[in-house]
Amino acid sequence: QVQLVESGGGLVQAGGSLRLSCAASGRAFSSSYAMGWFRQAPGKEREFVSAISGGGGWTNYADSVKGRFTISRDNDQNTVSLQMNSLKSEDTAVYYCAAAIGWSTPTRLKSEYDYWGQGTQVTVSS
C-alpha cells in the first residue's frame, strides 16, 4: 500500500505560480516506480498532466502544460512536486498525485496508476 497526500493548492491569479507537493508513505517510496499528476475540472474527465520515471530522469507532459509545468521527485524525501508557472484559468481543477507501481517509465495512462491521493484544489482567477 502507498498513501499519497497532496498539498500546495490554492487560489492564484492568472499568470501566477503554485507548487504542488505529494508526500508518499506506506510501501517504500522507490525509484522503481513512476509517479504522475492528473487533474479533474468540474464536469470533465480526469486527465493526465505530467509523469516522472522512477529515477527521475524521464518526464512526460500534456501538451497543454508543456513549457509551463515542471515535475520533479526526491526519492530520499519521498516526495513528488509539480511547479506550475504562467497559470491560466483553464488550469483550474482538482489535482491528484498517483503512483504506478508496475511502471518505471512515466506513463500517461490513468489505468496504469494503482494509488491516488485525495486531491488538492487549484483555482486560477482571470
Residues 11-67: tens digit of each pLDDT: 999 999 999 999 998 876 667 789 999 999 999 999 999 999 999 999 999 999 999
DSSP states of 58-86:
-EEE-TTTTTTEEEEEETTTTEEEEEE-S
Which tens digit of pLDDT belongs to each residue from 76-118?
999 999 999 999 999 999 999 999 988 889 999 999 999 999 9
- Cα gap 56→90, rounded to integer Å: 27
Distance of CA 80 to the CA centre of its chain: 7
Task: Give the DSSP letter of residue 95.
Answer: E
Q: How far apart are CA 57 and CA 53, in angstroms?
A: 6
Cell numbers standing for residue 96: 491528484
